[in-house]
Amino acid sequence: MVNKLTNEEQRTTLYTTPDEPTIPGSVTPDTPVEMLNLNWSERDLRERERTKHVHRLHPYLGKYIPQLVEVLLRKYFAPGQTVFDPFAGSGTTLVQANELGIHAIGCDVSAFNVLLTRAKTAAYDLECLHDEIKDALKQSQVKNDFSQLPLFAHLESMNGKPPDASNYLRQWYAPSALTQLLAYRDVIETGDYRYKDLLRVILSRSARSARLTTHFDLDFPKQPQTEPYWCYKHSRTCYPTTDALKFLKRYSLDTFKRVQQFAAVRTNARVEIHHADSRNVALPAIDGVVTSPPYLGLIDYHEQHVYAYQLLGLEDRRDYEIGAAAAGTSKKAREQYQSEMVCVFRNALKAMPDGGQLLVVAADKANLYNNIAEELGVTIEHIIQRHVNRRTGRRAGEFYESIFVWRKQG
């Protein structure tokens, strides 16, 4: 029998939590749910901790913090078990599972997400990786004499157009920056490199920063910025960037440092990431699920990395996104979202043992997840509300998200 909770009953699951936020490393399977305080503030959990090692290998909107995932994994899973994330996103679940010696399987329809997660979770020969990162940067500079490029010029004023550049790339990059990015890309694709995926992530991260956009609007640029502008971030007049090389250099160094840091805590636990639809992907046996599904009508996950798709020629499967912003939040969109989520979790349940846990982190403004649980026939053990009062940039503010703790019935 499904344990259905009304809105009033859901509120009663908001336990009187301890005043001090939970230290993730202190959590064990015996830690009572009511003793978890997951309302970390900026003071409690600094940005450098939330973005430790490979978690900041590339910016990504809509990801949950690794400390929350760590708590859930420590509480509900054990080393040697296998956790599945049907919405792998930037790979947070898979990275944290590996740290704890838990095998992990991820699935995502976004080719970029799969690329990023593979780069984050791979095992590297650090000496080889260091040499490859250094060589790719050097060879891309040899390929083009950047010193001869104009500091800024519209593409129309150039004597030629960079080869293999789409209209999007020509529109969103100064010619000098685009030429540098294309040179680096060509070096990667034609070179004999062992770790091409990681080099592609460096390229993508650099491309994100080198776009013709304002400094304060890297997340949601609406149109190219080709003229000087008043910068709300720096409180002065700023200029669109014309140089991608400085970002390629910066992120080459930062990427190696972060991979090196993760290598110090990485275990031999298996990590698999599949470019597939979690509604119908064939799964091996798993012990449970930890995931943060896409929020209804909030983010277009392919669009946020459109520059990577354009530069790298990745397959675009945006039509398979669940809850995409472009679909809106109408009644029809809500019904479709609920139906598709049921398909995802039902597919996962088939690979789970009786009693296995599904841990779902979502901002359920449309109140759909109780209905999803009812359709699935799972037991609702807890609904924990987390106060997220730590946001930065133009998205500063606070909101609440729910952690749904479901159990597969026998």
Residues forming beta bridges with residue 271, ordered by sequence position: 104
| Strand runs labelled E in 144-238 | 229-231, 236-238
Domain boundaries, the chain: 7-123+269-295+322-407, 126-261
Tell which CATH architecture fits domain 7-123+269-295+322-407: 3-Layer(aba) Sandwich (3.40)
Looking at residue 165, its pLDDT comes to 80
Distance CA 157, CA 180 (A): 18
Lowest mean per-residue pLDDT among 17-26, 353-362, 370-379, 390-399: 390-399
Residue 2 has pLDDT above 60, yes or no: no
Q: What is the pLDDT of residues 37-62, one digit of tens each?
A: 999 988 888 888 999 999 999 999 88
| Residue 393 CB neighbours (<10 A) | 10
Please indicate, yes or no, whether the overall pTM of this predicted structure exceeds 0.85: yes
CA nearest to 305, candidates 160, 157, 205: 205
Q: What is the pLDDT of residues 148-173, one digit of tens each?
A: 444 334 334 444 455 568 899 999 99
CA nearest to 344, candidates 298, 274, 280: 280
Average pLDDT of the chain to the nearest whole number? 89
Residue 342 has pLDDT above 70, yes or no: yes
Looking at residue 390, its pLDDT comes to 52
When pLDDT is averaged across residues 374-381 and rounded to a whole number, the result is 96
Distance CA 318, CA 302 (A): 6
Looking at residue 233, its pLDDT comes to 81
Distance CA 83, CA 109 (A): 18
Distance CA 152, CA 75 (A): 54
Q: Which two tokens stand for residue 234?
A: 């720096």
| Residue 127 CB neighbours (<10 A) | 8
Q: What is the pLDDT of residues 237-293, one digit of tens each?
A: 998 999 999 999 999 999 999 999 999 999 999 999 999 999 999 999 999 999 999
Q: Work out the burial of residue 336: count CB atoms within 10 Å of its CB; fewer than 13 is exposed, 13-18 middle, 19 or more buried.
A: middle
Distance CA 190, CA 374 (A): 52
